[in-house]
């Protein structure tokens, strides 16, 4: 129990892995990062399509995604899957469950690709929270999550299908880039995008074809973004709310 930093390939002074980059954006590195890494009880591999978190009250740990892509979803009464959020390496999959217990059985987290997740017991997380800078970092993480929802809400309620899809893709690319994953390929199916945007799979397909015809996406069946500038323009995406280094510099909260 308790991994070392070296085991994760993390050099505290020079973060290279998504997890370290993520926490650096939240204002955590060095000793504090070490503490978090040491709180990781164990790491688990999850195959694409499998559940990561069950909506079980007895679960007493949070999961921190270290590789792959997951989504938190809610099933509607007709069995449909509504994706509420995507998670990328460095994101907590279920931090909100820790603070606001979810009673809803229809809620869960699913691996969209093969994943690797870190398990941190509530007990150990509580110990981490005793340090003000760690508590602040988690508050920031939640603030960031709220900001993401806020932006998506704006686009989802007012935007066209083209805007919704473009915005969603931009957001995922930006978030992945923030943790060092600067590939232009997103490992999402069109069905995933449909469940996340609230559009029908058929219309997502047509929308993607439009983006392809605009030379914003590659013509291949994979989801490859060619022209990110144009994609951002179409999706009215301004990534300022995700730019943690810049936000951190302006941060008003200080822990001295």
Footprint of DNA (CB under 7 A): 160-162, 189-191, 198-203, 205-209, 221
Q: How many CA atoms lie within 13 A of 255 on its CB side?
A: 13
Could you give phi then psi for residue 168, rounded to 5 degrees? -60, -45
Stretch (H or E) spanning 118: strand 115-121
Which one, 221 or 249, has the nearer CB to a second copy? 249
Which one, 119 or 162, has the nearer CB to DNA? 162
Binding site for a second copy (CB under 8 A): 60, 74, 76, 82, 84-85, 96, 98-101, 103-104, 122, 126, 129-130, 132, 135-136, 138-140, 142-147, 149-150, 152-154, 156-158, 164, 197-198, 238, 240-241, 247, 250-254
> Hey, which bits of the chain come out as E strands?
40-46, 51-53, 61-67, 70-75, 81-87, 107-111, 115-121
Is there a contact between 37 and 10 (Cβ–Cβ < 8 Å)?
yes
**Residue 213 binds which of DNA, a second copy, none (CB < 5-8 A, kind-dependent):** none
Residue 174 is classified by DSSP as H
Which one, 4 or 209, has the nearer CB to DNA? 209
**Residue 50 binds which of a second copy, DNA, none (CB < 5-8 A, kind-dependent):** none
**Residue 221 binds which of a second copy, DNA, none (CB < 5-8 A, kind-dependent):** DNA
Stretch (H or E) spanning 86: strand 81-87
Q: How many CA atoms lie within 13 A of 83 on its CB side?
A: 24
> What minimum distance in Å lies between the beta carbon of 167 and DNA?
12
């Amino acid at each position: 129990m308790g991994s070392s930093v070296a085991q994760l390939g993390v050099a505290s002074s020079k973060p290279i892995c998504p997890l370290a980059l993520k926490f650096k954006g939240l204002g955590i590195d060095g000793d504090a990062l070490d503490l978090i890494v040491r709180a990781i009880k164990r790491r688990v591999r999850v195959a694409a399509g499998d559940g990561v978190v069950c909506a079980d009250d007895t679960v007493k740990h949070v999961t921190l995604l270290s590789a792959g892509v997951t989504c938190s979803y809610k099933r509607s009464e007709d069995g449909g899957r509504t994706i509420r959020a995507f998670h990328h390496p460095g994101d907590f999959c279920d931090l909100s469950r820790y603070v606001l217990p979810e009673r809803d059985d229809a809620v869960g987290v699913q691996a969209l690709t093969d994943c690797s997740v870190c398990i941190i017991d509530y007990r150990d997380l509580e110990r981490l929270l005793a340090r003000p800078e760690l508590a602040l970092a988690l508050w920031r993480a939640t603030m960031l999550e709220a900001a993401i929802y806020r932006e998506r809400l704006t686009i989802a309620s007012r935007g066209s299908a083209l805007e919704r899809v473009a915005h969603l893709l931009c957001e995922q690319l930006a978030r992945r880039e923030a943790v060092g994953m600067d590939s232009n390929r997103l490992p999402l199916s069109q069905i995933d995008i449909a469940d996340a945007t609230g559009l029908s799979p058929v219309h997502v397909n047509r929308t993607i074809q439009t983006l392809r015809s605009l030379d914003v996406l590659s013509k291949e069946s994979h989801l490859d973004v060619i022209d990110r500038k144009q994609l951002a323009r179409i999706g009215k995406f301004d990534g300022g709310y995700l730019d943690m280094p810049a936000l951190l510099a302006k941060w008003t909260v200080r822990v001295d």
